[in-house]
Amino acid sequence: MWALPAGVVYTVAVPPSASRRGFAVYAWGFCAYLVAVVLFGAWVRITHSGAGCGRHWPTCHGEVVPPSPSTETLIEYTHRLSSGLLGIAGIVLLVWAVRRFGLRHRITRAAGVTLAFIVVEALIGAGLVLRELVADDASSARAIVIALHLANTLILTGACSLTAFWATYDRKAGAEGSAGVPALLFVAILAIVLTAMTGAVTALGDTLFPVSPTEGGGLFGRIRDGLDPTTHFLVRLRIVHPIVAVFAAGLAWQVPDVVGARTDDPVARILGRGVRHATVTEVTLGVANVLLAAPGWLQIVHLLAAQILWLLLVTCAARLRDAPRG
């Protein structure tokens, strides 16, 4: 009989079965499609196509298939179709999780949260259309809803990433205990959520009140406009997002150091370094957005980088809960 050296604990990662690997591949593919739908939703805003189907939902101009659609109608209608397919794929994800892991497994619970927030996402989108908080609407109600919409999106993509991540890495901590999630990581997660919400409002302002990178005094002119109490509130709020983003970036930069102090787990350390790299990329894109006056294509790239940073942060926290301390 083999004897283990005193004080040494071994953790064994059991190779996943073929069915589990298949589920993990599907879950990651689902997450990728989800992010694509989110980016498409931003393109709907950028192109002012939110009212492309009129004040009708779920139909488009009262029709299942709109006849002779305009460009705006095609964009909005395509986004609705892609969102509908996302819902169907979410049902498949949950049913597969229940059959493979059972009702009480954390993977199933994460899949359930994913589907629930897909429904909430659809209802928020429906509310925006039915209350005509789309296209050129510049009301405070739209700004509030758009910020909440983005927060809901983060919960949705976070739950989806946990579903896929836990299906890929389901190792539990050994007898030495879990590394645990440090307070800084919790604060960083909250800061990123707040950054994303203020970013959504800023992006709305950039869409409704576009500026030229060279006209009107350039960057300093935009700062002056943001401090002018007579300008629209969406213009004045532009300054808030960069301030919050700098604070959040400072927290996210420290993540790999905190992870390294908690555990030697290689997956957690890789994710921690990924958070730092994604933070640098996101800050760089943010600066470019300001200097170039937020062109539509750059807003999409900026949002994509933000989603990648968010997924890395969420999965890093999840891994720390499973990783052994030390």
Domain ranges of the chain: 16-170, 173-326
Q: Indicate the burial class of 65 (C-beta count within 10 angstroms; 0-12, 13-18, 19 or more).
A: exposed
Of the candidates 90, 62, 66, the residue with the CA atom closest to the CA atom of residue 77: 66
C-alpha span between 41 and 160 (Å, rounded):
18
Q: Amino acid letter at 179?
A: A
Question: What is the pTM assigned to this prediction?
Answer: 0.87
Cβ atoms of 110 and 163 within 8 Å: the answer is yes
Any idea what DSSP says for residue 92? Answer: H
Q: Active site includes 76?
A: yes
Could you say which of 72, 76, 132, 282 is catalytic? 76
Task: State CA 126 to chain mean position distance.
Answer: 20
CA distance 72 to 44: 8
Q: What is the pLDDT along the chain (326 residues), one digit of tens a residue?
A: 444 444 444 444 445 577 889 999 999 999 999 999 999 999 999 998 988 998 888 889 888 898 888 999 999 999 999 999 999 999 999 999 999 999 999 999 999 999 999 999 999 999 998 888 888 888 999 999 999 999 999 999 999 999 999 999 876 545 455 778 889 999 999 999 999 999 999 988 888 888 766 555 555 556 666 666 778 888 888 889 999 999 999 999 999 999 999 888 999 999 999 999 999 999 999 999 888 888 999 999 999 999 999 999 999 999 998 888 87
